Homo-oligomer: A and B are copies of this chain.
């Protein structure tokens, strides 16, 4: 009985992860504004991960600008800016690597204090780069107020969501004319004969 219960709980968790991936992926298709899509996505992630905050930064002329926030101070969206050499978030953008700190994130020497964000006092920090074709378009951060050891599933999921958001943001930069006029088959077939760039 206890084995069946463990399996049930595990199954429920994996099904929720799959649903989250599918929901994020759906925004690639929907004709919604990028801003609204990003707000919805950070809300879904924060809820799924039961985190106290989820902040999404995108690159703007060499800086990271807060573009979506769940928890914390929503008024800071568009205002909070980080240089790439600042904070844990800047480190993730530079290194293009997942970062997991289960406690005392604020004591990490890479930490940068913001007066605008209550997240400055949160213990646990999980952060993934938002990537598209090996370039960083931004960073997504999850924070838990109490100490929280991130599971492998949580790390995998934030990695995948970061990739999906990368595709979403990149696709949003194409206007309707580009989407209508591009010869998609030629784009794919041409890459069959071109040598891989280094």
| Contact digits for A108-134, partner B, Cβ 8 Å, 1 yes 0 no | 000000000000000000000001111
Residues in B with CB closer than 8 Å to A8 are: 7
| Contact digits for A176-198, partner B, Cβ 8 Å, 1 yes 0 no | 10111011111111111010110
Q: Does A107 contact B (CB under 8 A)?
A: no
Flag if B34 contacts A187 (CB, 8 Å): yes
Flag if B33 contacts A192 (CB, 8 Å): yes
**What is the CB-to-nearest-CB distance from A156 to chain B, in angstroms, rounded to a whole number?**
7
Number of interface residues of A (CB under 8 A): 73
Name which of A15-23, A84-92, A144-152 contacts chain B.
A15-23
Q: Which of B33, B34, B173 contacts A174 (CB 8 A)?
A: B173
Residues in B with CB closer than 8 Å to A78 are: 189, 192
- Copies of chain A in the complex: 2
CA distance A156 to B33 in the complex (A): 24
Q: Does A135 contact B (CB under 8 A)?
A: yes
Flag if A188 contacts B18 (CB, 8 Å): no
Contacts of A49-89 to chain B: CB distance below 8 A: 57-61, 64-65, 67-68, 77-78
Residues in B with CB closer than 8 Å to A67 are: 184-185, 188-189
Contact surface of A with B, Cβ cutoff 8 Å:
3-4, 7-8, 10-11, 14-15, 17-18, 21-22, 25-26, 28-36, 38, 57-61, 64-65, 67-68, 77-78, 131-135, 137-138, 156, 160, 163-164, 166-174, 176, 178-180, 182-192, 194, 196-197
Query: Which 4 pairs from chain A and chain B are nearest by CB?
Result: A167-B167, A60-B185, A65-B185, A7-B7
A-B contact pairs, 10 of them (CB 8 A): A4-B4, A7-B8, A35-B188, A35-B189, A58-B185, A59-B183, A65-B189, A68-B188, A133-B171, A133-B179
